[in-house]
C-alpha cells in the first residue's frame, strides 16, 4: 500500500524528476500520459498521482549502459538489440 508521502502530483513529480537530472515539465508529463512512453501513474478521483518508485524506475529505463569513453558508448549502440539488452541487464 502506498502512503501519501510516496505519491506526488504532477508538479511535485516534475520537481522530483528534475532533482534526478531528468527535466520534464508538468505539460510534458501530461502529454506523455496521453501519448505513452512516460512513467506510470494513478488516478484518485480526478487527481493524477505518481509513486516515487515508479518515477525512479522510469528514469532508470531512460539510462544507457555505462561506458568509459565515447568510443565504448558507440560500440554498445552498434551491437544488436538482443546483446544491448543483455548488457544493460548485466550492468
- Domain boundaries in the chain? 4-90
Dihedral of the alpha carbons of 22, 25, 26, 32, in degrees to the nearest 10: -70
Reading the block at residue 65, the C-alpha cell is 549502459
77 Cβ contact list (under 8 Å, min separation 6):
64, 84
| Chain-centroid distance, C-alpha 25 | 13
Residue 45 phi/psi, 5° resolution?
Answer: 60, -115
53, three cell numbers? 518508485
pLDDT on residue 86: 44
pLDDT tens for the chain, residues 1 to 91:
667 679 999 999 999 999 999 999 999 999 999 999 999 999 999 999 999 999 999 999 998 888 788 887 777 667 645 544 444 444 3
Position 78 scores a pLDDT of 74
Nine cell digits for residue 6? 510516496
Amino acid at each position: 500500500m502506498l502512503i501519501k508521502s510516496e505519491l506526488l502530483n504532477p508538479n511535485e513529480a516534475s520537481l522530483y524528476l528534475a532533482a534526478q537530472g531528468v527535466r520534464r515539465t508538468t505539460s510534458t508529463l501530461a502529454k506523455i500520459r496521453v501519448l505513452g512512453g512516460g512513467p506510470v501513474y494513478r488516478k484518485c478521483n480526478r487527481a493524477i498521482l505518481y509513486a516515487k518508485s515508479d518515477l525512479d524506475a522510469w528514469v532508470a529505463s531512460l539510462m544507457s549502459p555505462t561506458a568509459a569513453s565515447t568510443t565504448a558508448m558507440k560500440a554498445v549502440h552498434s551491437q544488436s538489440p538482443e546483446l544491448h539488452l543483455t548488457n544493460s541487464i548485466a550492468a
